[in-house]
Amino acid sequence: MKIGIIAKPRLEAGEILRNLLSYLRKKGVETFLDQDTAALIGETGSCLKSEIPSRVDLIAVLGGDGTLLSVARLIGSRNVPIFGINLGSLGFLTEVTLDELYPTLDRVISGKVDYDERLMLTSSVIRQGEEISSYSVLNDIVINKSALAKIIDLAAYIDGKHIANFKADGLIVSTPTGSTAYNLAAGGPIVQPGMHSIIITPICPHILTNRPVVVRDESEIEIVLKSEDTEVHLTLDGQVGFSLRGEDVIRIVKADHTIRLISVPGKNYFDVLRTKLKWTER
């Protein structure tokens, strides 16, 4: 078996990483570290991060959800599962705790693997009829204004049908996986990851009756930026940014590939929600 390991840069987890490598190598697992991860513990023989998905059977991610999101985009359509080890503070995606790490890893190495398959979205920017960018995301696509810009005007269409003009600070188009991220903070619904749906949530809308909308994942969504001379950005999974111009069209569809996350046996999505959102506390 071949396992890639990608850790959050500047992570203070050298001992955890060394122990993990030692464990895997004793099990006869071939390991691949990217250069930044190897530098955390002074390892040699690393490879480029972009090379790892094509060389391994799965990728172990040490860090938080942000690190996992970047790895999901790196994998693209290669169908390599992700083993998310939570060293962050929240961890909706990196759900494996340090206590669960080695028992779960034993199951993975022996082939007893449980997967959660997650929808991804592809977002393209069309400017004057020409596609100028295209990205895939696991969480969300966000159109928002700069800190000092005025409210922006966005026209939204689903399968060619005009649904609304949003005058707002911005708009979030989210997967069910991303429903617990920016979408949740903006008042959008929590949607169970296995559902075939896409969530559209306005950010601080000027018209209070503009509410979140949930549509089927086969829908083609188009958002047209109607504002001129306003600084507006497209942000993908909170990590990649792109400047927009007036009359740009953001076209969003279900990606032709999914991401597989390795899950902990006996641990379900609602267990994670109760823990992370502190629903059991009074």
Domain ranges of the chain: 2-114+263-276, 120-256
In whole angstroms, what is the distance from residue 196 CA to residue 119 CA?
Answer: 8
Structure tokens at 139: 């969480």
Q: Which helix (H) or strand (E) holds 5?
A: strand 2-7
pLDDT at 114: 83
**Residue matched to tokens 């697992």:** 29
For the chain, 282 residues long, give each residue's pLDDT as a single digit of tens. 899 999 987 777 788 999 999 999 999 999 999 998 998 888 887 889 999 999 999 999 998 888 999 999 999 889 899 999 988 666 778 778 888 899 989 988 888 888 889 999 999 999 999 999 999 999 999 999 887 768 899 999 999 999 999 999 999 999 999 999 999 999 999 999 989 999 999 999 988 888 999 999 999 999 999 998 788 999 999 999 989 999 999 999 999 999 999 888 777 788 778 877 778 766
Topology adopted by domain 2-114+263-276: Rossmann fold (3.40.50)
Reply yes or no on whether 229 is catalytic.
Answer: no
Domain 120-256: homologous superfamily in CATH? Probable inorganic polyphosphate/atp-NAD kinase; domain 2 (2.60.200.30)
With beta carbons less than 8 A apart as the criterion, state whether 179 and 194 touch. no
**Do 133 and 127 contact (CB within 8 A), yes or no?**
no
Catalytic residue (choose from 34, 57, 65, 153): 65
pLDDT for residue 77? 86
Per-residue pLDDT, 100? 86
Predicted local distance difference test score (pLDDT) of residue 90: 63
Query: pTM for this structure?
Result: 0.90
